[in-house]
A and B are shown apart, each in its own frame.
Chain A
Amino acid sequence: MGSVDEVSLLNRARQGDRQAFEEILRPLVQPAYRLALAMLHEREAAEDAVQEMALKGWRHRGRIRPELGTVRPWFLSIVANECRMARRGRWWSVLRFAEPLDHHALGETDIASGVDLRQALDRLPYQDRLLLHLYFVLDLPAVEVAQVLGISAGAVKSRLHRVTRRLRPGLNTVEVIP
């Protein structure tokens, strides 16, 4: 739950107060852009995803939940959905995946020992990259990551454990996740 001011701000935004909506939107633009760029690797597409986040957030402002004190998970889930749909569009497939990567063919040993971490991240399934970015880069708590991904907090922990073990087999992440 946020402070009284935050809840009031969210209430106003939910009721259609444009100024209040801007106030809650602005701090989320750069994190959203950072996430979109990491998922799409293209500045223009990432900016489009953030723009869509703002428009859809405004259109669906009636679903803002003031009592939760934040709209960050909701907004980031919109961005994540936009990125997913952008990646699946035909134009994107042609541009980005002319030589498709078969991430299923990558074994744990390949990722952990042979290749650069950045390449390993790029080869992860979309949902796993999204998970890592939300948790490690944007520093979202597990409960907010869960809201963005539409899964339980427990599933976030188990997925983090699985993915990080693929990246670094010696790590036991679950024990340190709050």
Chain B
Amino acid sequence: MSEDRLAVEIRAAFDSTHVSSPGLEDRVVAAIPGERTRERRASMPRLAGGLAATLAVLAVAILLAPTVMNKLSLQFPGTNGPEPPAYSLAAVSGGSVYVIQRFTGNELLQSSDGGRTWVDRLHFAGVYGGTQVFGADGFTWSIDMTRSGCPPGGGSCSKPPSNALTLYGTKDGGATWAALPAPSFPVEDVFFLDPSRGWVVSSSPETGLGSEVLYQTGDGGMTWSRVAALPSAVPMGYVFGTGNYRVTFSSPADGSLSGWFVGATQLYTSTDNGHSWHAIVLSVPQAVAGWTSTPSQPAFSGSEGVLPIAYHDPKGPDNATANHIYLYVSHDGGATWGDPRPAPAGFAPVGDILSISILDSRHIWLDSMSLTAGDNVQASPAVARTSDGGLTWSVVKNTPRILQMTFGDAAHGYAEDITGPTNTNGILVTSDGGATWQRVTMPVFAARRN
């Protein structure tokens, strides 16, 4: 028998049980959290007559009493009916929490009373990038991902997005925000260590990963200067887990400065302000010897640091679940790492949702959309927390489906989750260290802009 004939037979055998699923593409796309600019714009001309009048009434209602809209679950219509805005948990600092609310633009909202009331602080365009707040000072930014050279009637655009950075700063605790000068280079990621020192990873849309260049500012984003190219080691395959491609810097109590760059399977560090980088070699726990490691960025409290590493056995009998997270600790500002401490089983499923929130080197939270540990599948979302740097853990099961958590102290924190049949975003608050969560009611400020 030829391979061609076998292929036909195998294909026919698989297809003999196939059942089509018409419209699946639309349903799958519609359930993705986030704004759907194209559809929403296209839907507006369809409004006419009574519906338009109704919309006008609703618009007035929004202006007069925005919380009414939220309570009634009424939003501006999209192609798939009422659609709530998208949310990103931006930052937690002191008594304030910042949330990004999005329709076609970004609204930076601030609450100083635990999420009970909110103030709309800033409207800005672009793809939301991030927010960092240091007491009264802070930064929020977006990146322009709009293509140009697009034919009027549709079709492929001739020019890629500019990746231009739009950066705002505050010096009064978030009350007012001012635009900072735009860098002249394309931007991929931003990190500030304090109100003055910041770094930007630059990578043009054409070149992609592996060609990043590091820039720095010492005056709070007013001016930028090129530092050096970042390590270009690109992994050979996709890596799941906790890896990312960010650059962060830390400065322990002795005033030294260390940079941290995660390619995918390798963590690099710099002790000369980002001019040169070298890979960190970690001792591998016996239980995961030979496995692929996926590092995350370290976090520090003074000289005490914690570094999460996810280990994945690519040759294991079940490479979906044979994963483990270890927390390495440092007592010298990151110069040396050791004493790997295992996270609770099931919090590092390959390809599954996983996020880490590090308040300091002792208080760490992990969340997972579904726990998976070997053959023991626990379908419920869960949160694990430690207050001793990973020596002991407590696990809370049946939590909301949390995407991201941020804590202001050991007890008080906020989370962004996905909820409901259409997987919309929501904001949660906890006052008991993540054991229980309450949903925050958000007024829809973003609707005013559309």
Contacts and interface: CB of A to CB of B under 8 A. Distances in A.
Interface of A: 4-5, 7-8, 10-12, 15-22, 25-26, 29-30, 33-34, 37-38, 41, 43, 46-47, 50-51, 54-56, 58-60, 62-63, 65-67, 73-74, 77-78, 80-82, 84-85, 88-90, 116-118, 121, 132-133, 136-137, 147, 149-151, 164, 167-168, 170-171, 173, 176
Contact of B13 (A77, A85, A89, A118): A118
Contacts of A33: 21, 24
A26 B23 CA distance: 11
B237 to A, nearest CB: 5
For the complex of A and B, list the 9 residue pairs with the smallest distance between their C-beta atoms, beginning with the closest. A66-B208, A81-B351, A8-B160, A81-B320, A118-B13, A67-B208, A11-B205, A150-B314, A17-B145
Contacts of A15: 127, 143, 145, 161, 163, 188
Contact of A89 (B1, B2, B37, B379): B379
Given A56-B352, A65-B238, A136-B11, A50 B28 contact: yes
29 contacts: A4-B206, A8-B147, A11-B206, A15-B161, A15-B163, A16-B127, A18-B32, A19-B37, A20-B145, A25-B29, A26-B29, A29-B28, A41-B17, A46-B21, A63-B238, A63-B239, A63-B244, A65-B208, A84-B320, A84-B321, A85-B349, A88-B377, A89-B377, A117-B13, A121-B10, A121-B13, A149-B319, A164-B3, A176-B3
B52 interface: no
A95 to B, nearest CB: 14
Query: What does DSSP make chain A's interface, helix, strand, loop or mixed?
Result: helix
A88 B13 CA distance: 24
B357 to A, nearest CB: 15
Nearest to B33: A58
A132 B352 contact: no
Interface of B: 1-3, 6-7, 9-11, 13-19, 21, 24-25, 27-29, 31-38, 127-128, 143, 145, 147, 156, 160-161, 163, 188, 205-210, 234, 237-240, 243-245, 264, 314-315, 318-321, 349-353, 370, 372, 375, 377, 379, 403, 418, 423
B31 A151 contact: no
B301 to A, nearest CB: 26
Contacts of A54: 28-29, 31-32
Contacts of A65: 208-209, 234, 238
B25 A56 contact: no
A19 B38 contact: yes
A171 B29 contact: no
A150 B145 contact: no
A175 to B, nearest CB: 9
A38 B15 CA distance: 8
A147 B318 contact: no
Contact of A12 (B7, B145, B314, B321): B145
A63 B21 contact: no
A38 B17 contact: yes
A137 B7 CA distance: 8
Contacts of B244: 62-63
B6 A171 contact: yes
A116 B243 CA distance: 45
Contact of A137 (B3, B14, B163): B14
Contacts of B11: 136-137
B10 A47 contact: no
A98 B18 CA distance: 22
Nearest to A62: B244
Given A63-B243, A137-B15, A22 B29 contact: yes
A147 B237 contact: yes
A127 to B, nearest CB: 8
